[in-house]
Amino acid sequence: DLFACMSVVGMSHIRKVPWEDAPKPPAPKPRAPKLHHQLHEALAAGNEPIARELLARGANPNVATLRGLTMEYVVSGSVSLEMGRALVAAGFDLTKRWQGYTALQRAIGFDMVDAVRVQIELGASPTYEDGFRRSPLALAACRGALKCVDFFLGLGADTKEIKAAIRHAERRLAKPAVPIEPRELRQRREALAR
């Protein structure tokens, strides 16, 4: 083994090997954070001028992070409706889903009627169906979001949509919310009943 020989005898009488003269690889350059991460940080902090600058520099508003979609900062009230319009103008897709739901559908799920109104004003479709083919009205009825149901009925839903919403609400009410009992408690209860 050449390495063992060099360590015992030394390198003074052995010819240099090619890898000893090889240049050192350059140190990796530090990576700049991606623009969409910076955009999410600016929106979370409510810093609209920086968010607008990042959009002008080419930040993609459609990239979701662990926090969600960029439009959810508008929905939550971290930034203004004007920033939402800037996101839409920069190319935000109002039909983009994160964890299976659009920002409009997520707002409906939490019965946030103001956020729903903002999304509709920005151009979200009040008839866009979710993954289970439920309209926003039916989704609101299924989730028990009464404020959103009133809002969508005020928009002038057709009878087909209203009937579907009623069916979803009936299914929701037909399934009682029974908590799952742990096995140990069930076994104790059954033992006491004997």
Q: Where are the alpha helices (DSSP H) in the chain?
A: 2-9, 35-45, 48-56, 71-76, 81-89, 103-109, 113-122, 136-143, 146-154, 159-174, 183-193
170 pLDDT higher than 90? no
What b-and-e string marks burial along 43-80, b requiring 16 or more CB atoms within 10 Å of the CB?
A: bbeebbeebbebbeeebebeebeeebbbbbbbbbeebe
Residue 178, pLDDT score: 54
Phi, psi of 98 (to 5 degrees): -130, 125
> Which tens digit of pLDDT belongs to each residue from 122-164?
888 888 888 888 888 888 888 888 899 889 888 887 777 777 7
Residues contacting 76, CB < 8 A, separation 6+? 115
| Cα–Cα distance for residue pair 113/50, rounded to 1 Å | 28
Band of residue 21 on the pLDDT scale cut at 50, 70, 90: low
CA distance 123 to 176: 36
- Lowest average pLDDT, out of 83-97, 111-125, 156-170, goes to 156-170
Most confident by average pLDDT, 35-44, 73-82, 147-156: 35-44
pLDDT, position 180: 57
Across the range 109-114, mean pLDDT stands at 86
Nearest C-alpha neighbor of 43 from the set 12, 74, 2, 81: 74
- Report the pLDDT averaged over residues 157-181: 71
1-5, 74-78, 98-102: segment of lowest average pLDDT: 1-5
Virtual torsion, Cα 71, 77, 80, 81, nearest 10 deg: 60
**DSSP states of 32-51 as a string?**
PPPHHHHHHHHHHHT-HHHH
| Three-class DSSP category at 23 | coil
